[in-house]
Amino acid sequence: MSEDDRTPKTTDGGTASADGGTDERPPFAATRYESGAITYPGHPTGPEGTEPAETVDLAEYTGEVVTWTTSTATPPGVRQPNHLAIVEFEVPDPCGDGVQSVRALGQLTTDGVETGDEVRPVYVEELREPGVGIKDEDSAQDWDGYRFEPV
């Protein structure tokens, strides 16, 4: 199942790159629920039992590194070392009177990133080599996605 399959509809994203140009990248699709909460990835039922309302493209935002690690013992098909971070984004509410926080985990484009640094998502066609690990290349697993690059 792809990220798109897990979300009800796409209201934005899909064409804008981080530098404002255009490309064919898919959205970095988080889900906003009727409660206003946002999660990445999305779920059929959201926090407090609310229904998905729309998707939000996190690639249009920058985020702050909450914590990070460099993993040196990586599974087959994964780059070594693998720099990883949990990043928090603040997404404006649709009505414009506040922000909603949402976190995502992803690879970092480089080492040397510290807690509190600002990063932006960049699209990558293959985050790990498909089919090398326990999951088949043609399985429900998707292999593309976003890394985080220091701003």
Provide the H-helix boundaries in 1-151.
Answer: none
Q: Which residues does residue 65 pair with via DSSP β-bridges, in sequence order?
A: 87
Q: In whole angstroms, how close is the CB of 20 to another protein at the nearest point? A: 26
Q: Can you tell me the distance from the alpha carbon of 106 to that of 113, in angstroms, rounded to the nearest whole number? A: 13
CB of 8 closer than 8 Å to CB of 53: yes
User: Judged by CB, which is closer to another protein: 15, or 80?
Assistant: 80
φ/ψ of 98, rounded to 5, equals 170, -175
User: Judged by CB, which is closer to another protein: 3, or 54?
Assistant: 3
Where along the sequence are the contacts to another protein (CB under 8 A)?
1, 3, 39-41, 66-79, 82, 84-86, 103-107, 115, 127-128, 133-135, 140-145
User: Judged by CB, which is closer to another protein: 16, or 84?
Assistant: 84
